[in-house]
Structure formats: C-alpha cells, structure tokens
Structure 1
Amino acid sequence: MSCRTFTRVVATAVALTASTLIPPALADEPVKVKVFVGAMFEIGQNTGDRAGEFQHWYERYFSQSKPISVKGALNPVYCNDDGVCGSVLGMGKVASSSSVQAIILNPQFDMSEAYFIVSGVAGTPPERGTIADVSWATWLVDYDLGHRWAPEEGEPGAPTFMPRKGYEKVRLFQLNPDLVGWAMHLTGKTNLKDSDSARSYRMRYPQEAAQRTPAVKTGTHITGDTFFHGPGMSAQAQYIAKLYGADDYLITEMEAAGIAQVVQRTLGDRRFLSLRGAVNFDQGNPNETTLQHLDPAPGQTAGGFAETVDNIAAVGGRMVDHIVSHWSEWKNGVPPLPRQ
C-alpha cells in the first residue's frame, strides 16, 4: 500500500469514527429559537381530540414538525422553520421549571434571542375577571414562599400569611412593561369566543366583572402549587400581591414564577410573557360553599373550557406572528411601542 493510499484510508476511518460518535443533532447547527411557547398539560394527543393547553398551538405551528427529544424535559420539543418552538412542560413549579431548564441548556437549541410565552388555563377572582378571559401578566408572585397558620390560631380577622426573609428575589417578578404593552397593543381587541354554558354560569355570581363577556386583560398572576379555592384564600392572594407592591391579583396558576426564575437566571427576563385563560372562578357563588365549588355536582361546572383554550392560542398567536414577521426589529430586544 502506498503512503498516499494509507493516508486516505486512515482519514476515511477517522471520519467514519467521528460520525458514529457525534449525534446528528449535535453535528447540525442548533435551532435558532425566536419564540418558545410552553404549555403545562395536554388532555390526550397533540391533535385530533379534545384540546388541552397545547393542541391549538401544535395545530397552528407544529403539525409538520418532528419531535425533538430533550433529556430532562417531560415531553419533546417541536420547532417549525420560522423559529417557533413549543413543548408541554408539566404541571406545577417543579415539573415545568425543570423542563424549561433542560430545554434551555440543551445544545440542540440556541435560546439566546428567544422570547418566551408561558401559556395555559387558570382561575380568576369574580371581582376582577370572568370565564374565558385571557390575561397577560404584569407581575408574577409566588404564593408559597412564607409562613402560614390556621385562622383560629391568630388574631381574629387578621391575615394568616407572613413573608419569609431570604426569598425577596424569587417571590416577585415584574415582567417587561414594554413587552406587556406590545402584547396588549397587538391583542387587546381580539374577539374572544364564548359559550352558552359559560354565559349561564356567570350569572350565578353577583359581581359585575364576573358577569361580563370575556376580554383580554392584564394583571398579577399568582403562582402556587396549592390549588386554592374560596373567598378567604382569594383575599389572601390579593393581600400578598399588594404586600409585594404588585398589581391587583387577576390569575391563579401553578407554574409561571418558577419558570420565570429559570429564564431570568439563564437568559434574562426582558423577553418573558405569561399568558393565561380563565376556566374557573377561584371561589363559589354566594349560594354554595367552598367545598361544593371544589366538588361540583354533575352539570354544575363553569363550561367554556374549549373556548378558553382556543382564545389563549388566538391571542398568543398574534404576538408570536408579529415577532416572527418583524424579526429584524425584535431580534435585538423589544422595540419602542408605537405612539398611540
């Protein structure tokens, strides 16, 4: 064998060995993510059955996309050719935030310029919202970081919560006001779907806000692993929001503050949005107890779930489409809001 032939054989062998050692996903360029949409659960399949939090997003952006497996994430990630990616992250702060961290740190994705939309269903207090509302968060507040005690063990009528020192940087997140402003500018007048069952259910509540037709709103989203119910817990959520200097409590959910902490630590928080649709009130009407509201009789639920998850994707999709179609303006950060 000549020296030249030997060199060629060795080079070929090295190349073949390298190709077997380097996974294809790592050999390719990472996906340049422009917008990442995170849902918390899906009821069944991603398409073709009853829609949960992800199905409308999937059908809008990812129906032609192949799943990308990510170690440490609960479910695969889907990405389209426009740089929009999404995944079902899991319910609760731990499941969802651990999925997000695994996705952000995975070399298959370049998240350095990505905008995040945390998207899902939620509850709302009847004093401020109604079924099928869609809300962009102005603030995220962690409901769980503090001290609590039974009402009968404190002063009558006094709050039963006290913040715990040391959590100041992780219990409260103000979302970028310019980005939230853009979200309302682009989506605030979206025509939202409603249902006869939701219209009927609203009338059980005397509050004016509860009886209104659904709309796009902004306010504080309270994150708690406890699925709290009742006027007492609702009042406590508002107490905590005001104690921390946030806007009025509008949405109760289980993930956003945890995810925001992961995104803030790894990428910064200027490109982060929380989008929620209200599928229940956080308390019963005056004619039912809290336990009756928690465990309703057949036919006594709020209705409007299907319409709400559709509304969420319709509102959020306007934001996604605008960012992607104007990427040269959004790539380096949130552009100035247009003058009204």
Structure 2
Amino acid sequence: MMLTRSLGALCATALAACAAFSSGPANADDDAVSHGHGDSHGQPVKVMIISMFGPEGQVWLDRLGPWRDIAVDGLSPDYPTVHCNKQEICVMTTGMGHANAAASIMALTFSPVFDLRHTYFMVAGIAGIDPQQGTVGSAAWAKYLVDFGIQWEIDGREIPSNWNTGYLGINTTSPADKPPLDYRTEVFQLNTRLADTAFALSHSVTLSDDAQAQAARAKYSYAPANRPPTVIQCDTLAGDTWWSGTLLGQRARDWTKILTDGKGVYCTTQQEDNATYEALKRAASVHKVDLNRVAVLRAGSDFDRPYEGQTSADNLLNYAAQGGFTIAIENLFRTGNPLVQDIATHWGEWREGVPQH
C-alpha cells in the first residue's frame, strides 16, 4: 500500500500511540436483543466515526465537543476510550492496520457499554490516491471495499513471460482470473443509497488546499491529478503492505475490476477497511449493528504512483513532500461532517434507515 501516514504524525502518536458482495442484509432493529447485562442495551449512538490513528480522530475532537470519554475493554491501549458528545455522535480510533482495526471494532461492537443497533458508522481516514481518479486532498466515498493483500505473489523478477504482474488470485491459474473468494473478506459492497446520500450532501463543499500540494500535483500532466481537490465517488483497496508504483497501481485497478465483476473503480489505498467491515459483519450476524449503515470516506494524502520522470522509489520515500497530509485530514471533516450532522439533527428521518432524498 502507498504510504499514507505522516512520519511526524506517526512519531507523535506512537506513544499515545463478503465474499459475494455482502451489502449488509442483517437487520439491526430487533429490540429483543440484549447487550449482555439484563434488559439494558447500553448508551445509544447515532453516529460512530471510526478513525485509525490520532490525527484522523483529532480533527473531529477539535470541532464537535465537548466530549465525554468512555472506556471500552479491548480497545487499543493507545486509544482506550470512545469520545461521545451530547448529539450522540461518537469518535473512536482503532489503531493502524488490519489486526488493530478488527480487534478494536470487535471490542466496540460486543461491548455492553453501547447500543449500536441503529448506529451509522462512518470510517474516515487518509489514503494513497490514484491520480487518474483524484488528487491529493480529494475525498472519496466508496461503494466497494477490496482487499489487495489476499493474493498469491511471485517475485516480479521471476514472473512467467506471458503474465503482466506477479500477483494472482488465490487458487487461480493466471492474474486475470477471479478467485473463488474462499476467505469471504476479499470484497464487500456497501449500501449504495447511503453512499449516494453521503456524496449528495457533501459534493459541493469547499475543500482545503495548500501551496505545497498545488506544486506537487502540478508535476502531473493530466487531470484530475493536476486539478484542485474535489469530493468524488470511487472505491478503496485495503492491504497492510505500503506500496508505490505505476505497475502496482495498474494491478490495483485490475484487481478491483476482477473482484467486483467490473463494477468497482479503484481510487484509494489504505490498510484497514476490509478488516473493519468484517468485524462489523460479525456483530451484525447477532443483530448488534446494521451493515446497511456503514459509510467509508477516504481522503488522498499522497499519490499512489509517480509522475512522468519520477521513480516509484522517490514517490514512496518522499511522500511527505506532496503536502497532502494536512489537507487530507481537514477534508475528512469537511466532507464527512454534512452526513454526520444530517443524521444527528434529523434523527427522526434516519432512525429506521437511510431516508429517500
């Protein structure tokens, strides 16, 4: 996966430190389900904002407080509390990577502390971005979550002469084949109505930008890479390996098409989202959450591949020079907050499901 974390931010936070396109059929409106302590269902939550590391969560904490901090057993030791305000909007931070995301979301959803049966979950994090789909600072609402890490790999120096990549689906015979999806987490489809509503509420917001990002994107000879950031709709690819490169980027595009039967369009690369969704799916299977209420927003902090004349190594090692980190964090708030506020302030319209807009 392309580098998406600011080195400085990482250092600062280190000490604080469906297989078949499941669209979430589980119904979370079964009021007979208990959270494990008598008839109490715990504290209700209208919106749970899921961040992955400190700065992603802090942009919300700085704007929507005051907050009450609520400890939840099993969360990351770096981020052991959930922050909730009087609007019943909460912010949690999972820790980075597949393992942290899955463990934290499982701890949250199986805790008796909260009633999450009607909660809307919004993943809001930064990511690498495909310059053919967006630019640094662009914010993308996803409809598909694709796992880039569940593949077979042959070293690029040893691939067969008739292959265009060293990657192929597990238990397939060529890179172009769709795998049997034995893991059941390779691809998920989000609720299209929620994704479209989120986009409609946010597509015209004014996004943050800065001179450093403008200089970085000007090195690309084509749009939208060299245009100002916008709110877009395209899909996100998860994998714990941070990557950079034109050829790996093409595999990301191809892999997304293969796993979504041509319906998905790759544009952002991150680490956690398939793991987060699978944990929510486990909770939905016992009616603790509703998978139709999951939205994923990723903002481009750096390009996933170099501009013409740049090496992939330079793009990887000097990602911070693109200037996208600060504006991507800010644009998560600017893009995600219209959805958050619409849910919280018009709860009567949202409580039973995504309204017809």
Q: Does the pair score TM above 0.5?
A: yes
Q: Aligned-pair RMSD on alpha carbons?
A: 1.9
Structure 2 runs not aligned, ≥5 long: 1-36, 171-179, 285-289
Asked if structure 2 preserves the Cα contact closer than 8 Å seen for 1:148 and 1:162, the reply is: yes
Please say if 1:58 is aligned against 2:61.
Answer: yes
- For 1:167, the equivalent position in structure 2 comes to 182
- Taking the aligned partners of 1:286 and 1:118, their CA distance within structure 2 comes to 33
Per-residue CA deviation, residues 162-216 of structure 1 (Å, 9 max, x unaligned), is 2224436311111111001101111111111111111111111122210011000
Please say if 1:73 is aligned against 2:78.
Answer: no
Superposed, 1:11-160 pairs within 5 Å as 30-42=42-54, 52-61=55-64, 63-74=65-76, 75=79, 76-156=81-161, 157-160=163-166
- Call closer, same or farther: CA 1:332–1:131 in 2, change over 3 Å: same
Structure 1 runs not aligned, ≥5 long: 1-24, 43-51
Asked if structure 1 preserves the Cα contact closer than 8 Å seen for 2:56 and 2:329, the reply is: yes
- Taking the aligned partners of 1:26 and 1:284, their CA distance within structure 2 comes to 57
Q: Which amino acid aligns with 1:274?
A: V
- For 1:296, the equivalent position in structure 2 comes to 318
- Taking the aligned partners of 2:168 and 2:317, their CA distance within structure 1 comes to 29
Per-residue CA deviation, residues 98-153 of structure 1 (Å, 9 max, x unaligned), is 10110111111000111100111101111211010001111100011121112332
Q: Which amino acid aligns with 1:68?
A: I
Please say if 1:219 is aligned against 2:234.
Answer: yes
- Taking the aligned partners of 1:152 and 1:306, their CA distance within structure 2 comes to 37
- For 2:296, the equivalent position in structure 1 comes to 274
Structure holding more helix per residue:
1
Please say if 1:319 is aligned against 2:343.
Answer: no
Asked if structure 1 preserves the Cα contact closer than 8 Å seen for 2:41 and 2:115, the reply is: no
Per-residue CA deviation, residues 249-299 of structure 1 (Å, 9 max, x unaligned), is 1000111111011112212421101111101000122222111222229xx
The alpha carbon displacement at 1:155 in A equals 2.5
Q: Which amino acid aligns with 1:272?
A: V
The alpha carbon displacement at 1:28 in A equals 8.2
Asked if structure 1 preserves the Cα contact closer than 8 Å seen for 2:123 and 2:296, the reply is: yes
Asked if structure 2 preserves the Cα contact closer than 8 Å seen for 1:171 and 1:257, the reply is: yes
- For 2:271, the equivalent position in structure 1 comes to 254
- Taking the aligned partners of 1:239 and 1:155, their CA distance within structure 2 comes to 18
Superposed, 1:168-187 pairs within 5 Å as 169-187=184-202
- For 1:4, the equivalent position in structure 2 comes to none
Q: Which amino acid aligns with 1:58?
A: L
Per-residue CA deviation, residues 235-256 of structure 1 (Å, 9 max, x unaligned), is 1111110111242110001111
Among candidates 179, 192, 196, match of residue 211 of structure 2: 196
- Taking the aligned partners of 1:155 and 1:269, their CA distance within structure 2 comes to 41
TM-score by length of 1: 0.84
Asked if structure 2 preserves the Cα contact closer than 8 Å seen for 1:26 and 1:107, the reply is: no
TM-score by length of 2: 0.80
- Taking the aligned partners of 2:231 and 2:121, their CA distance within structure 1 comes to 19
- Taking the aligned partners of 2:220 and 2:296, their CA distance within structure 1 comes to 27
Identity %: 29
Secondary structure of the 1:243 match is helix
- Taking the aligned partners of 1:294 and 1:220, their CA distance within structure 2 comes to 22
- For 1:329, the equivalent position in structure 2 comes to 349
Per-residue CA deviation, residues 47-82 of structure 1 (Å, 9 max, x unaligned), is xxxxx2111111222x32232111110121011122
